[in-house]
Structure 1
């Protein structure tokens, strides 16, 4: 049984349909890249998984459990950790306060997060709103890890960051894959970096899954057809 499985998922924002049939499978310990051009349904799919958007058809199963009836906070308690697009840190709180705000018991604590991102330890008493964009992204990832999830979802975690910071984030993702035993679902546009960490990929086109398979099978023809400008 797949650790995460979406089958025939449709969803709408009021009268506007966003997803028309999303299929996705992720095994425990895998990294899956969720890809597609802008506006194709990637963030909507993440919202459905995290129960921030209700699906109207299809099934969403996680670790053998139907997520459909759950509110978002219960989905988080079931083991989903979200790093949302746009970071959304609590600006008036310190780095430390942001990290402990949603902490749950488990192997990820403040000290371990600071090993992954040493800058957070150096800035533990600094207000989150005064951090750079890259530091805020590290904080958003650390905050999600402090919930001790079994599946970490990263929605455009490197978007708009300087190249050197992007590389730090990708190095952290590689570390999480190698050392933490987490499953990861990663939304990003950087195919070169995704090839280094992802085991499989799912590509969305106009709210539908149009390609899925091992990352090494995602060739130039497929990339040009579904990911090119």
Structure 2
């Protein structure tokens, strides 16, 4: 059974429909890349998965459970860990306070998170607002891991970061895939890095799933048609 399933999901912002026909599935321990040009519905799909936006068509299931009437806080307790676009750390709180704010018992605690991102241990008492963009992104990932999720969702986790920091984030994601057994849904524009870590990919075009397959099947023709500028 898939951990996460979306079958022909549709969703709107008020009268404006944003998703028309989204279908995808993610198995335990799998890394799935969610791709598409800007404005095609990737972040909206993530909002629906995390129950931050209602959907009015299709079906969303987590571990076989229908999620239609599940509020966002219960979705988080069921094992969804979100690293949102733009990081959104708690600026006035310290690094440690950010990490423990939503912590739940499990493998991921302050020691294991700071082993993945040693810079967070060095900045433990520093307020989040004073961190660099890369350090804030590490903190956002660490905060999501501290909830001990079953599914980690990364929405543009390397956007706007310096190349060396981007590489550090990608290496951490690769370690999570190799060592943690987490299912990971990742949105990013770097096809080269996605190809290195993702098992499969899904492409969204105008609010609908238009391609879904193993990453080795992503041909230049498909890339040019759906992901090119």
The aligned length equals 229
**1:203 maps to 2:203:** yes
| Secondary structure at the counterpart of residue 105 of structure 2 | coil
Q: Distance in 1 between matches of 2:200 and 2:68?
A: 25
Q: 5 Å matches for 1:9-48?
A: 9-48=9-48
The alpha carbon displacement at 1:202 in A equals 0.3
Counterpart of 1:191?
191
- State the superposition RMSD in angstroms: 0.4
Q: Distance in 2 between matches of 1:173 and 1:147?
A: 17
Q: Distance in 2 between matches of 1:153 and 1:84?
A: 8
Q: Distance in 2 between matches of 1:95 and 1:48?
A: 29
Q: Distance in 2 between matches of 1:174 and 1:4?
A: 21
**1:127 maps to 2:142:** no
Counterpart of 1:139?
139
Deviates more, 1:40-49 or 1:60-69: 60-69
**1:2 maps to 2:2:** yes
Give a deviation string over 1:36-89, Cα, whole Å, max 9, x none: 000000000000000000001000011111111100000000000000000000
Q: 5 Å matches for 1:83-94?
A: 83-94=83-94
Q: 5 Å matches for 1:144-155?
A: 144-155=144-155
TM-score by length of 1: 0.99
Counterpart of 1:101?
101
Q: Distance in 2 between matches of 1:65 and 1:105?
A: 23
Q: 5 Å matches for 1:51-130?
A: 51-130=51-130
Q: Distance in 2 between matches of 1:175 and 1:188?
A: 17
Q: Distance in 1 between matches of 2:130 and 2:3?
A: 38
| Secondary structure at the counterpart of residue 134 of structure 2 | helix
**Structure 2: runs of 5+ lacking an equivalent:** none
**1:157 maps to 2:157:** yes
Runs of 4+ in 1 over 4 A off after TM superposition: none
The alpha carbon displacement at 1:2 in A equals 1.3
Q: Distance in 2 between matches of 1:26 and 1:125?
A: 37
